[in-house]
Chain A
Amino acid sequence: ELKVEQNPLFLSMQEGKNYTIYCNYSTTSDRLYWYRQDPGKSLESLFVLLSNGAVKQEGRLMASLDTKARLSTLHITAAVHDLSATYFCAVDKLIFGTGTRLQVFP
C-alpha cells in the first residue's frame, strides 16, 4: 500500500527565512503533485513533477523530485506572510500526504 508522509506537520517560520517541507512516499511513483490550501478555502495546484531530478519554481516556492530516494521537497525562500497555508503533496493516483501547515509571522 502506497503511503505518503509529510514533515513537518506544522511549521512556524519568520518572514525572510528559508525552509523546506519534505514528502516521502513508500513505493515507486512516476509523478508527484504539490497543492496549497488557504484556511477555509479550496485547493490550488502548485506543481506536477514527472521525472527524477525534476525541479519547478514559482515565485518563492521551488519543488524537486528524487524518485530514487522517493522524496520530494518544497523549498520556501525568504518567506512572506502570504505563503501561510497548508501544503499537500500527493503521488501516483493522487494519494495525499497529511499536509504541512505553514504559518509565517513577522
Chain B
Amino acid sequence: DSGVTQTPKHLITATGQRVTLRCSPRSGDLSVYWYQQSLDQGLQFLIQYYNGEERAKGNILERFSAQQFPDLHSELNLSSLELGDSALYFCASSVGASGSMIDTQYFGPGTRLTVL
C-alpha cells in the first residue's frame, strides 16, 4: 500500500459527460501528479501540482483540468468525454520539497474510466 488513495476505482459514463476523479496524497507529500494510461496512447503524464500551484504540464487536453486543494488532495476533472478518454488514470504523490519532480513518486491504485 503506497499510502495514496484514489476514488472511485471504476467509473462508467457516457460520451459528452463530465466526471471528477479524486486523489489523496501520502501524508506530508506536497506534490501530486496525474497520469493517463491507455492502449492507444500508452502512458502519459498529464499535470503536476505542488502545494496548491500548478508546477508542470504534460499532454493534458483542454477538456481536462485539475486542481489541488489546501488540504493537498487533488481532483482531475474530465469534461465533454469522448470514447478515446477511456483509460486508467493514476495519481502519484511525492514529498516534492521543491516541486522539481526528482523525488520518488508513490502511485495510487488508479481509476478505470470507461466512456460508452
Contact = CB atoms under 8 A, between A and B. Distances in A.
Interface stretch (A18-26, A73-81, A95-103): A95-103
Contacts of B35: 43, 94
B44 A96 contact: yes
- Chain B: interface size category: 20 to 34
B45 A42 contact: no
B61 interface: no
Contacts of A63: none
Interface string A57-99: 0000000000000000000000000000000101001111011
7 contacts: A42-B108, A43-B90, A43-B92, A45-B107, A94-B58, A96-B42, A96-B44
Contacts of A42: 2, 90, 107-110
Contacts of B56: 93-94
Contacts, number: 48
Contacts of B109: 41-42
Contact of A99 (B43, B44, B102, B106): B43
B113 to A, nearest CB: 15
Contact of B45 (A31, A41, A90, A99): A90
A96 B92 CA distance: 15
A75 to B, nearest CB: 20
A57 B110 CA distance: 27
B102 A45 contact: no
Contacts of A44: 107
B71 to A, nearest CB: 23
B101 interface: yes
CB-based closest 10 A-B pairs: A94-B45, A96-B43, A42-B107, A43-B107, A45-B105, A45-B104, A42-B109, A48-B102, A42-B110, A93-B56
A99 B39 CA distance: 12
A31 B101 contact: yes
B65 to A, nearest CB: 18
Contacts of B2: 42
Given A43-B105, A45-B104, 9 more contacts: A42-B90, A43-B43, A45-B106, A88-B43, A93-B56, A93-B58, A94-B101, A95-B45, A99-B42
